[in-house]
Structure 1
């Protein structure tokens, strides 16, 4: 009697009861591919629909009629008090010539806060001193006691927006104090 080997059938793979759900990355990639295809089709359709329209190159000189550089603004009416007028002139100088830091005047003619006040004082050291005093009052009031000088405040900024706003506030404070 020979025994025959018994064969067992391989285990069957488990059947899925839920449908396959692609991952979020797969769904995003499929959506991206579909959108790219739709945009390419729309671009081709636009080219086909507008191919018959004649076009001529645009001459920019005929379109642009304003000067490329802004016209210089006239200085504002001066304040009646000397310190307010000095600070106002310094503010106007910064607006027209530009703002800089780490030097009184840079190679392009831009000034720092201190340099603008000094230039507009025209050698009147008492007027310059009073203007810088009012400016320092505003700096201390707005930014605290940690700032020791106008140049130190000026050099702490990356652009002139805050220093110029502070100088404008100093103009109003000097005017309010009738200086």
Structure 2
């Protein structure tokens, strides 16, 4: 079991690393596009397309890691005012709701990806690109987010710290 946990953690952190590298690529691509336009050149079609796809992958690949690190934006004004027992109940209920929503989005994402494969859909803007390569990110990322939110439902750690304000 520890090997499985290490593999899962490696997958999560690997996805986050790819998301980070994608962020660097987005910076480089935008700067390159702006410089090319300013010197009178037409930026490459694949440059613009890669930034569009990069934004999707950056978001989807980094999201499960953000859940694990409690990096998503949430407001703790209500949970900070609750008693510790009630705070834990509310936090676990919110996490359970997030598991349900993530599960539904993973299911619908899988349906979308399978539909793209069955129809042999292509994104045909700059190049012919199989659409399933884009939509495969949905079921993978939302499934991992559901797992991460479930850790806050069933584990010892709570999603909410119960402290209002900025704590870094």
Structure ranking higher on relative contact order (CA contacts 8 Å, 6+ apart) = 2
Q: Do the structures match in fold with TM over 0.5?
A: no
TM-score, normalised relative to structure 2: 0.22
TM-score, normalised relative to structure 1: 0.21
Is the helix fraction higher in 1 or 2?
2
State the structure with more CA Rg. Answer: 1
